[in-house]
Structures are given as structure tokens and as C-alpha cells.
Chain A
């Protein structure tokens, strides 16, 4: 995890417009247990390998190709999949957005996201980025796959962002593009570098103090379904 990755999330945090406390007791849900059991390691490995096989996801042309790849992968699960195209330094870049519309509160949105670009000392020719952040993209795809069979009260958006490593341009452009009167973002889960470490590691849940409600909520979910987590509230974490 490097500083630039953490900085990416700040911009998303700024537009979270509802500060929820979620103090209600969360109870175990059989449907959610079924969802958990259907997560596949093999699917995660396949996606990471295919993303690594691009050799690098840093140059402009490569990022466009990776966006096309992710678009085709997630569209197979979620028909409402679109490119979000933005201009940066005179050229057009792509984010990928797949939407499961909420049945009761379609304008209230939860986002699950990951960045797909990679970086290294040899970035123009070789930056495999398996952990950073093919692993996050694989998780977003797998969550989209398992949730695509269900209906929800709120809208869920699955987003793959380009150009995170160079200043979070993809996520910044997305934030600028939305109309807060039409899309009220309730919460965001950004998945970044989830596959490095021993089996005994906890999963870090990282946020700033003002957004601790979502860490508390997800931590409760972890306890309920026996997934070890560790809360990390940082004043200046991003």
C-alpha cells in the first residue's frame, strides 16, 4: 500500500452525503450466508492472472484495453454496464461502471470499487500489479458475480477506476461527473491490495474518524460471519 492509493479515497469520502450510525443490531441472514459460500478462489486467481498477463496496466493504450476487458467481464453478470469516459491532458480515459438498481431507493447508492492501473520501476513495459491492484479488481468482479442474482433496496455500483497511480484521476473525474441530486452516495468500499500476507492476517478496515460508522458496520458483519477484521481509524490515513 502506498500513499497515492490512500489519497485516492479521500475524494470519494468528501461526497459521502449521509452520516449513518447503523446502531441497529445486525442479524445473521441465510441469503447472505449463501452468498459468502459462493465466493470462489479460482475465479479470483483467474482474474488476477488475466490482468497480470497484460504485462503492464500503466500506459494509455494498455489502460484502454484493460478497461475493455473489465467491461466485458462484468457485463456478463450485470447488463447495465457502461464506460465513464473522461478527458485528461487531451486524451480520453475510461472507467467502468456496472449498476444494480435499487428497488426502493434507486437514488441512494453504495459503491464497491478498485483501481485497475499498475505501476513499477519499469512501468512502460512491465508492471504486473498482481496484488496492487489486480487482487482488488478480482474481488469487485467476484462480488458482482454473486450479487447479480439478487435484488436490493439501494442501488449498488461496481466501479473500476483508471489512473489511480498518477493522481487518482479516474475517481476524481467520476466524482465531478455525478449530480448529487440524482445520485446520493451513502457509502463506498474501496478494495485495494487484499492478497499479500499470511493466512493469519486480519483484514484491515481503514477510514477516517468521521466515517467510522461504516467500519463499525463491516466489523460487525465480520464478527457475525466469522471473518477476522481489524478496525483502523486514522485521522490522516489517506
Chain B
């Protein structure tokens, strides 16, 4: 089991009603998505 997550993690004490799209960094999200796609393609043995 592997968890891919941000670093540092979101402060658990922050107001979660403010967890909205305008606070997000999609460069970071894109990198994590690329990594996941590459890792799964490799692990599962792409043909």
C-alpha cells in the first residue's frame, strides 16, 4: 500500500470549509498524477 500525498500535509486544524479550489496548486497535483500514471503503468506491465 502506498499513499501519495502532499508535503507538508494540510494543517488538520485549519477551517475545512475553506478547502476550496482557489487554494489549490495544480502544478503539484499534476506532478502527483503523472507519477501515479507512470508507476501503475510500469507496475502493471504495460504492453
- CB of A196, distance to nearest CB on chain B (Å): 5
Give chain B residues whose Cβ lies under 8 Å from the Cβ of A218.
2, 4, 35, 39
Of A112, A195, A198, chain B has the most CB atoms within 10 Å of the CB of: A195
CA distance A197 to B7 in the complex (A): 7
- CB of A9, distance to nearest CB on chain B (Å): 5
CB pair B2–A203 under 8 Å, yes or no, is no
Q: Which of A2, A121, A187, A202 contacts B17 (CB 8 A)?
A: A121
Q: Which residue from chain A places its CB closest to the CB of B30 in the assembled complex?
A: A41
- CB of B35, distance to nearest CB on chain A (Å): 5
Whether A196 contacts B1 in the complex (CB less than 8 A), given A31-B46, A36-B38, A103-B47, comes out as: no
Give chain A residues whose Cβ lies under 8 Å from the Cβ of B16.
119-121, 127, 129, 132
- CB of A55, distance to nearest CB on chain B (Å): 11
CB pair A196–B33 under 8 Å, yes or no, is no
B: interface residue count bin: 35 or more
For the complex, would chain A's binding face be called helix, strand, loop or mixed by DSSP majority? mixed
Whether A204 contacts B7 in the complex (CB less than 8 A), given A189-B39, A222-B35, comes out as: yes
Chain A 102-126, CB-CB to B under 8 Å as 1, else 0, gives 1110000010100000111110001
- CB of B2, distance to nearest CB on chain A (Å): 5
CB pair A110–B40 under 8 Å, yes or no, is yes
Residue total for A at the interface (Cβ-Cβ under 8 A):
90
CA distance A146 to B41 in the complex (A): 10
Residues of B1-38 contacting chain A, CB below 8 A: 1-10, 12, 15-17, 19-21, 23-38
CA distance A132 to B17 in the complex (A): 11
Q: Which residue from chain B places its CB closest to the CB of A6 in the assembled complex?
A: B3
CA distance A196 to B30 in the complex (A): 12
Q: Which of A120, A121, A127, A194 contacts B4 (CB 8 A)?
A: A194
CA distance A189 to B33 in the complex (A): 11
Whether A39 contacts B30 in the complex (CB less than 8 A), given A195-B25, A199-B25, A204-B7, comes out as: yes
Whether A225 contacts B2 in the complex (CB less than 8 A), given A26-B42, A103-B47, A132-B10, comes out as: no
> Which of A63-71, A77-85, A89-97, A136-144 is the interface stretch?
A136-144
